[in-house]
Amino acid sequence: MISVKKAHHIIQDCIPEPRTVTIPLESSSRSVLAQEIRASFPQPRFDNSAMDGFAVRTQDTAGASKENSVELKLTVTIKAGSREQCKIQAGECARIMTGAPVPEGADAVVMVENTSGFNVEKTVEIFMQAKQGDNIRLAGEEIQKDEILIEKGTEIDAGAIGVLATFGFDNVKIFKPVDVSIFATGDELKDPGEPLSPGEIYNSNLPVLHNLIKNYGSPIIHANSVKDNPESLEAFLAQALKESDIVIASGGVSMGKYDYVRDVLFKLGVKEHFWKVAQQPGKPLFFGTAENTLIFGIPGNPVSSYICFMEYIRPVLMQWKGGRSPEKIKAELKTPFPANPEKHRFLFGNVWSENGSLFCRPTEKLGSHMLTSALNANAILEAEPNSRDLPEGTMISVNLLPGAVLT
């Protein structure tokens, strides 16, 4: 049995280098950029109007007000997308729409609300004195050409997609997402919605793992419940090992009479790197490799399954696709933490901010079968082996759950 720290080191040494692929921009959400993105032109590309109104020379509006308007000759209308080259002279103005290029000679735009309006033919009354630069977006004021827009290794979200589209990127180079296969083993398992017979339970691990894996942007190649017999396991695993980057087995890795997963993996050529970690829950954790495929065997108890995914598999998914797993934080215990004298202890719990400091509280439901301990939890709290429970006021490590909000 190895320590949690040793297990992490072993897994880390087995993670392959990320691969890259170029995909359409519209398919890139939640992918990780494998290239540095630089501006191919300044933004804005040209001086343009920030408002609907009239492009003017500021000196022509001197002293203008509602009581003492200035009359300017209307020479042209410029709309967004216009390619017309035009110039205004002294005493002239141009009707201009938002986003339209500012004509040569103009150094301000007066909003239409501060004029006699668009329904004019030859002259416009200006009701305010304009200042140089009013309502004009200057070329390059947001981004200069060749400036870094998005760093390599950034996860693509809606904002990044918008910026990439703004600068004309229709395809992006990303780190290839990790293909994952998952299965749960146990003759007692039924899928939600099926009737239960005596001795049967619903399979909660597959839905939880499915949600977590999708949350980190990895496609799921296979997801099945597999019977507790070597033939069914071998048929599933032989295919999954060929087609997946990561295979996750939920259940079947302990020491029960019908726990066949390890034996079948060995038969299929999987190299075992460790089995059993000094932790609670999740002691019978298995990790192995077959060429570039990583295999995790996590216990079937639902809390063990969830916590082992967050502790060991999430960092692999993030790193293998070129990203970074969120770092753990420190928080102060508000209630005692039930430590284990020989094992690293993990418990669901809550962390919150109070007067600029972080505090946390573990769940009171301690059993590895008690998945309701995850309800309303926003974190996993942990403590190294300790002969005594950790008292209130102790600082401990906290691993935030996906979507966690600190209140």
Residues of the chain with pLDDT under 70: 254-258
| Predicted local distance difference test score (pLDDT) of residue 154 | 93
CA atoms of 173 and 18, how far apart (whole Å): 12
CA atoms of 14 and 148, how far apart (whole Å): 33
With H, G, I as helix, E, B as strand and everything else as coil, classify residue 160: helix
CA atoms of 98 and 51, how far apart (whole Å): 5
With H, G, I as helix, E, B as strand and everything else as coil, classify residue 163: helix
8 membership: H or E segment, kind and range: helix 4-14
CA atoms of 366 and 281, how far apart (whole Å): 9
Task: Enumerate domains of the chain plus CATH numbers.
Answer: 4-19+177-320 (3.40.980.10), 22-42+149-175 (3.90.105.10), 48-137 (2.170.190.11), 329-400 (2.40.340.10)
Half-sphere exposure of 31 (CA within 13 A, CB side): 24
Residue whose entry in the numeric block shows the structure tokens 């005594």: 388
239 membership: H or E segment, kind and range: helix 230-243
CA 202 to chain centre: 30
pLDDT in tens, 214-236: 988 899 999 988 888 889 899 99
Give the angle 222-227-233 at the CA atoms, nearest 5°. 60
| Predicted local distance difference test score (pLDDT) of residue 203 | 83
363 and 330 Cβ atoms separated by less than 8 Å: no
| Predicted local distance difference test score (pLDDT) of residue 290 | 95
| Predicted local distance difference test score (pLDDT) of residue 94 | 96
| Predicted local distance difference test score (pLDDT) of residue 108 | 98
| Predicted local distance difference test score (pLDDT) of residue 256 | 57
| Predicted local distance difference test score (pLDDT) of residue 327 | 87
Which of 333, 335, 345 is closest to 386 using CA atoms?
Answer: 345
